[in-house]
Structure 1
C-alpha cells in the first residue's frame, strides 16, 4: 500500500517526505503456541516462567478466563478499570478511569466491538482476584492488542508475561494471520515474547500548489525534526 501511494504521488508530482519510521512487535500466524514460545525464549527463561506460575499457584488457584462474547462485560470492564487505577497509571493520573471521557470511550469501544463479535477478553485470576487482563480487537485477517493491565501487588510473579503466554492461543485461530501489539518500540515485556516486527511509516504528502505546497514541505521537515528529537 505504501509503495502504491508513493508511486501515485510521483505520477502527480507531489512531494512525499518520510516523517517517522518505526517497527513494533507483532504476532504472526505460522507456529503453534508452544513452537512460538520455544523460538522466542530460551529454555532457561521458559523454566523461570514455569517456576513463577508454580509459585503463583501456591498463593491461590490460578484460572484463565477467555471470552469473545458479551457475557459479564460490564463487570469485566469495571475490574479492568479498577486494576489499572490501582497501579502506577492511577498514581500519575493517566489511567483510563482518571478521566471520565477516557473511561466512557473505553466502555463504549469494548461494548461496540463485543456486540459485533470483534472483541476477545482474556484475564488471569488468582482465586477470585483479577491480576492481569487484556482486551484485543479482532479485525480479520488481523487483530489489535488494545489495552492490558496487571496487578502490581503480584509483580514478582510476572502476571502480565504469564498472561501473554496464554494469549499465544491466538495462533490457533485459523482466520487470524497476525496480531499487532500496538506497543511502544522496545517495550520491555511484549518484545520478550513477540519477536516479529511490523514496519510503520508516517508520510507527509504535498497538497495544493505554489505557496501552500511550499508550506507543506517546510512543515514536513519540522515534523521529521521533532520526531527525531523525541526518539
Structure 2
C-alpha cells in the first residue's frame, strides 16, 4: 500500500515500530496514539505546515493488528488535494463498494442548510481522502470484511498537545506517565480530545459489512448517557477545520 504523505508515513512507522509478539492493550494503543499526536505537532512545526486535525487508530480486536493514520493537514502549505486523491486511489484499490458523491458528510451539511462559502473542500463537509480512516480502513479491509471485531479511536491533536484550560496538564505528557485505562480516559475526557466517527467513516465501515466499537462513544460518558448525546457534545473527528 502506498504512502500518500508525511503524516501517513509517520503513522506507518509508529505502527511497525511497535509490532511485538505480545498483544497490544487498548491502554498501550492510546499511549501510542497520544505519542503520534505529539510527533505530528512537532513535525508540522519543522515542516512549516499545519498539524493534522485528528490522529486515529483502527484495531483488530481478534488478531491485535492495528493501523495509525491522520487526517490531511489543513490550510497552510500545498498539496492537500493531491494527498486526498492518492488516498482515494489507495482506498479504491481494495474497496469494492463504490464511493458516493457528495460524501455522506457533505450531504448532511447540504440537507441542514449549510452552503459552501469557500472553494476549499475542507470548509464544506469532509471530502473522501481527508480522514485518517481512508488509510487505516484500506490497510485492514480484509479483516473488516471478514467480520472481525474492530475498535477505533480518534483524538484531536490540538487539545492533546495543549494545556488543559486552568491546569498545568498537557495530555500527551501526562498520558506517558499513566498505566491504568480509567486514568488515561479521564485525561482524554477532561481535555475534550476524543472524536466520534463521522458519517463518511461510518459509511465505509457499514459498506464493508464491518462492526466497529467507537471508543470515543464508549469512553465519553457514563452508561446512562446515549451515544447520540455523546456525538452532540463532541465535534466530528473528521472535521477539516479546528473550531
**Do the structures match in fold with TM over 0.5?**
no
TM-score, normalised to structure 1, is 0.30
Q: Say which structure is richer in strand.
A: 1
Q: Which of these two proteins has the greater Rg computed from alpha carbons?
A: 1
Q: Say which structure is richer in helix.
A: 1
TM-score, normalised to structure 2, is 0.29
